[in-house]
Structure 1
Amino acid sequence: MKHNPAFLALVESILPLVTEVNVEQYQTMNDWTLLDVREDSEWLKGRLPNALHLGRGIIERDIETLFPEKDTPLVLYCGGGYRSALAANNLQVMGYTKVVSLAGGYKAWLERQLPIEND
């Protein structure tokens, strides 16, 4: 997907504030909760194993209900790593201290031909 310049500029402006991990790093992260922040339609087409779904449109609204402890270790991912970086930044602003974004997101996972879950 081709992204618009202002969206890319926004993502670039927050990336220095967010920790990103690559797929290989994520695979070594025990006891971290994986959150898929993609749209419902994307989730239904396939997702990373053991992921929970909390879409980008509602994550800030619902995160404290699902994860009231602000030190809960969370890995966020989306299609390519941009929306998850934005969401990770917002969660940090909300006080979450262990939140990272999966660089390359679902696309990076598929490129490595790793397993996915489907309904």
Structure 2
Amino acid sequence: MSVDAFLEDARAEITRVSPEEADGLRRLGGLIVDIRPHHNRLAEGEIEGSVVVERIVLEWRLDPSGDWRLPGFTKDTPVIVVCNEGYSSSLAARDLKRIGLPKATDLIGGYRAWRAAGLPIREGGSQAVS
């Protein structure tokens, strides 16, 4: 299977959201999870109110029934995964959906689409949740 087919399969399992839709979900209590590398976040900024979780620990920090999960969300919380341009976030969102987050999705166009839409950002470089 090619990576393009792999990505297409992942996206068939999620309902992706635009920057404006993601902002609406954020305002209603949705959790925006930034999986971008530190150097990208430092150079470009971060989404206001987002939580930084390295991809390597994402499933452990967002397993709704796991011992290592982040506080403050439930399996019914909309979770919007963000990467640079909306590719690896699709794969991550699919995986989160499979571990018990039915409202997991990703941001179409990633962080760069959010920033281009003029939505709230903050200075980058936050420490990731480990």
What's the TM-score once normalised by structure 2's chain length?
Answer: 0.77
Q: Which residue of 1 aligns with 2:57?
A: 58
Amino acid at match of 2:59: E
- The one-character-per-residue Cα deviations of 1:41-97 (angstroms, maximum 9, x if unpaired) are 222221111111012222013223115732222111111111111111001110112
Runs of 4+ in 1 over 3 A off after TM superposition: none
- Which has the higher mean CA deviation after the structures are superposed, 58-67 or 21-30? 58-67
2:18 to 17, 22, 26: 22
What's the TM-score once normalised by structure 1's chain length?
Answer: 0.83
Q: Determine what percentage of the aligned residue pairs are the same residue.
A: 30
1:10 aligns with 2:6: yes
| SS class of match (2:93) | helix
1:104 aligns with 2:109: yes
1:113 aligns with 2:109: no
| Count of equivalent residues | 115
Output the aligned Cα RMSD.
2.0
CA contact (8 A) 2:46 2:123 kept: yes
Check 1:95–1:115 CA distance in 2 against 1; reply closer, same or farther (3 A cut): closer
CA contact (8 A) 1:44 1:118 kept: yes
